[in-house]
Structure 1
């Protein structure tokens, strides 16, 4: 083997089951040596199966996955016990990642707004430019289930109508960083080659525009100098608006295991009391802090800096600041002037915290 370096309710139920099972049976990093040391092996595969190593296609954690195919079809996906990211663990998303490939979507149903569908069913399909009267409302009463094939025909006619009436650029496409290379190629081929539209945007660019700008300004590079191994090396862990237990379960499991073994404090800054908060509290509520501010992460961080500057200046590496950072004097002066905990409370919202 060559190595290359369904509903939301059901998903959440499955995630909760796997998370609780992992915590309850010690299926976390280091809890069972066999999860870390046992090599991924195709020995149990049938002779006519092909085995390849790949990366889970869902979230950005990048878990290693062992894929087996038979007659060109994926018949097995399991976590790679050798992979340094997930060490043989995988969440419900990764374990079922191949299932959507074999769903016949053309046999399913779609939801279409009732008034739009009623207009479409008129002679000659009525007004193809019709705009729904229920725009902005997503109550069930405004929708009707129709066969996917029929709905796709309606969409195709509307696309053709707008392209002819207003030009290809009147039609926009919003993509995703989770698309495969083949999917992105087809998107571009359709939008640019067929419709003549360059109105294409994606979450990947919108997300990274702010992130990379911040990385360059603060770190001098477009990627943060971090590794997952830092989780097991840290003395305290903070999450800002990050419900890792649901969105990145492997990260949460590694962090929870580290907290359980070393009793590190954890802080979750999130207006919601999420599964991440409750998971850490289950391990040790005494050193689990939940900060439910409504907004203002920067204000909150600057208020922490204010307290450090005022009450704990001895923990600040002043020599490092002077030698390796620019604008530190202006920053510290501004923080001391404008970001005391009392000054930022109103702009952050949420309950008072001492």
Structure 2
């Protein structure tokens, strides 16, 4: 019996900070159908490709289903007592600062709250930090300097009502596609103009009126010029300025700053300044290109200074807008998940705030100073100051800067606990204790999105195996450590009510975060809670803050912050002449623990790559599809080369998603050094100095198999396909017996094999069968293997006869690599629709093949295909087939 007669359950997407509502229906077989919730104010039914594919990611193939301690399965009682004992013993011997928690924006607010309460209120240390430190800590610091507290002033509705949207260090089209579609809808409805400020030409530039390809790290110089021009042209709002302090100092710093470091022409800078100044309703959206910098906090304040000077804040269609990267990064900020914060946006170093929280929690002791931020935390693990470490739903051995150093530090830590949904991560493999946690669609709780909207995540699937919610795991450890009364929680609703009551104290102490209006929710009210934007009580009746000129510094005024261009901490040198930029791709998420399970999502960009400018490629002797070796002062990696003018000469780009589980030679954060912003502690992930050269491979390979392979060669990168895996390979050492090698890789010692070899050309094709069915195939060549990869992958488990050619037989359709992941539409399907004359515009293309009609994040790529394949059009060099 299927689940078609079951009611849909309202929940929230598992991915980015947009916080899209989803409607979930279990299929009674462990799977889900997923569609966008038309009533949720974040997305009104829209979903991106990742959200659309959520139902493909809930299988149990890779799940951690039972607690493990020192490489053996154990019961919960033994595992929890071991964790409690080892933490208690470590604290007794070395003090509370000898232990640490490293947590995640994947946690729900209730999980986060309990973790923060346990560490700061009862262990008595502030050594709890979150992977959100890597993505939005500079925004938090900038908000606090300017506003007195960490407040996002605006709402998503401002994107609908703006006349100008400026995207600064934000590839909104790929990283927050649903918001980008709102911007495009505003463009169509009201003529909203778009400016993109980014060193790369990204998909967000497709509809932009202006793209400013500034040099990495030079945002402060650009916005300082804007501030100077605002004053010079008489566009300062004097009435609003009376609600601020420090304007003259900020203006003086701005006037002294030189825009030359931006690399932009005066004409480009003037065009931007004129457009910004002359457009009253302007929203400046910023994300990781601003935050992930050694001067990220200054970048944030340079943007905020311009909005404060013009009073363009807290009113419809205007304001600075930070968009977050994780589903509950905002919730982590609200409960004090950062090492330098207390719950409800209170300040850890303020004695009145500490006393209020300590008394509310009835806590025995509270830390008086900030704890170790992420980079410093793992340095303390390395030096032995941290002797017991609990990592929850994150993968620092892959995602921290200088990742190899972090991995070594974790491996040497005397006691490491990892709570996660899988044991197959770089970090989980280093743990002494593994605790199976419930995942998305299995747990209940609250998340807060980028515009302060609180939404419910709801469980629709049963917890698999022995998995438990994180708040239960943390609470039980707290009780076993001797803190019983404070951690006797029975439900998520009880925890949320406590959090809401604490927010009333924060509001009384002059802070912004106030959800006290929800503190008396019954369990039934909590279960049925609809999306609600905070504050719930107090100012912000229309959801916006600061339009009335009231801020959260002690005097009620905002602060201008004088800032000056500093540039990246590490600069290119003769040995490392390139600047490496890192970031996300359209259809994958973080380290692919979830999104990598979907064959559809893996079909767009199935392999780690390096974008290299044509001039640099020519100079280096690198061609399309070669492998490039990239080295930095701290590490090295191998990446497939894409030659493109979307990056400028001297700059390269590589995505962040691959780990030792999927491409061990292509871990980007092994290349990123450790400098951080001195205010926020956020690492600089956008400007690593690197060297690039062609890998001298003896052979290249492409394999398709029913099981995952991890061969001992210099390079491999694996991706899911329907029914199996596809793997790219390359090695520096010749292999003499390809059949024996392939049998070992595929674990097929007795399977029948058909081999076609041309030893002189170094070409080999091996097809393994079970009966007449294809079970594995390997193609080898001296140069990058040329074949129809998606077609070959589709043959797995089917008739083996046609696979040797590596191409579709005449008359058989080959859709080509996926362009539209929402509907699984391939590049060749799109090209054929265009060449046939059936589609001359994006709308006609959508009508013909559905591509681009859901989240729209593929539309820039579709537009390029229209240009390339339109009848009588000119095909670009190296254009993909």
> Which bracket does the TM-score occupy, shorter chain normalised?
0.5 to 0.7
Q: Which has the higher contact order (CA 8 A, sep 6+)?
A: 2
Structure with more of its chain in strand, by fraction: 2
Residues 277-324 of structure 1: per-residue CA shift (max 9 Å, x gap): 1x214xxxxx333333321222211111112222x21x2212211x21
TM-score, structure 1 normalization: 0.57
1:325 paired residue number: 244
Structure 1 residues 74 and 182, CA, compared in 2 at 3 Å: closer, same or farther?
A: farther
Q: CA deviation at 1:183?
A: 7.8
Residues 184-206 of structure 1: per-residue CA shift (max 9 Å, x gap): 79999xx9xxxxx9965322245
Distance (Å, rounded) in 1 between the aligned partners of 2:102 and 2:214: 32
Q: CA deviation at 1:331?
A: 1.9
Residues 106-154 of structure 1: per-residue CA shift (max 9 Å, x gap): 69xxxxxxxxxxxxxxxxxxxxxxxxxxxxxxxxxxxxxxxxxxxx959
Q: CA deviation at 1:250?
A: 0.4
Decide whether the 8 Å contact of 1:216 with 1:222 is kept in 2: yes
Residues 81-118 of structure 1: per-residue CA shift (max 9 Å, x gap): 112211111001111224322140169xxxxxxxxxxx
Structure 1 residues 259 and 206, CA, compared in 2 at 3 Å: closer, same or farther?
A: same
Distance (Å, rounded) in 2 between the aligned partners of 1:270 and 1:187: 37
Q: CA deviation at 1:46?
A: 3.2
Distance (Å, rounded) in 1 between the aligned partners of 2:104 and 2:13: 16
Structure 1 residues 223 and 73, CA, compared in 2 at 3 Å: closer, same or farther?
A: farther
Structure 1 residues 81 and 309, CA, compared in 2 at 3 Å: closer, same or farther?
A: same
1:29 paired residue number: none
Unaligned stretches of 5+ in structure 1? 1-44, 108-151, 155-159, 192-196, 282-286
2:265 paired residue number: 352
Residue 65 (str. 1) matches residue 22 (str. 2):
yes
Decide whether the 8 Å contact of 1:236 with 1:264 is kept in 2: yes
| Total equivalences in the alignment | 249
Residue 269 (str. 1) matches residue 191 (str. 2):
no
For 2:259, what is the secondary structure of its paired residue? Answer: helix
Distance (Å, rounded) in 2 between the aligned partners of 1:181 and 1:308: 40
Decide whether the 8 Å contact of 1:67 with 1:74 is kept in 2: no
Unaligned stretches of 5+ in structure 2? 65-69, 73-82, 92-96, 120-124, 268-881
Residues 241-295 of structure 1: per-residue CA shift (max 9 Å, x gap): 1001111000111112212333222111111111101x214xxxxx333333321
Residue 292 (str. 1) matches residue 250 (str. 2):
no
Residue 232 (str. 1) matches residue 160 (str. 2):
yes
Structure 1 residues 223 and 181, CA, compared in 2 at 3 Å: closer, same or farther?
A: closer
Q: CA RMSD in A?
A: 4.2
Residue 217 (str. 1) matches residue 145 (str. 2):
yes
Q: Give the greater-gyration-radius structure (CA).
A: 2
Distance (Å, rounded) in 1 between the aligned partners of 2:195 and 2:225: 15
Q: 2:227 aligns with which of 305, 312, 328?
A: 305
Distance (Å, rounded) in 1 between the aligned partners of 2:7 and 2:132: 32
Q: 2:254 aligns with which of 318, 321, 335?
A: 335
For 2:211, what is the secondary structure of its paired residue? Answer: strand
Q: CA deviation at 1:224?
A: 1.4
TM-score, structure 2 normalization: 0.25
Decide whether the 8 Å contact of 1:267 with 1:291 is kept in 2: no
Q: 2:175 aligns with which of 227, 239, 247?
A: 247
Decide whether the 8 Å contact of 1:65 with 1:78 is kept in 2: yes
2:632 paired residue number: none
For 1:273, what is the secondary structure of its paired residue? Answer: coil
1:52 paired residue number: 9
Decide whether the 8 Å contact of 2:31 with 2:58 is kept in 1: no
Decide whether the 8 Å contact of 1:242 with 1:270 is kept in 2: yes
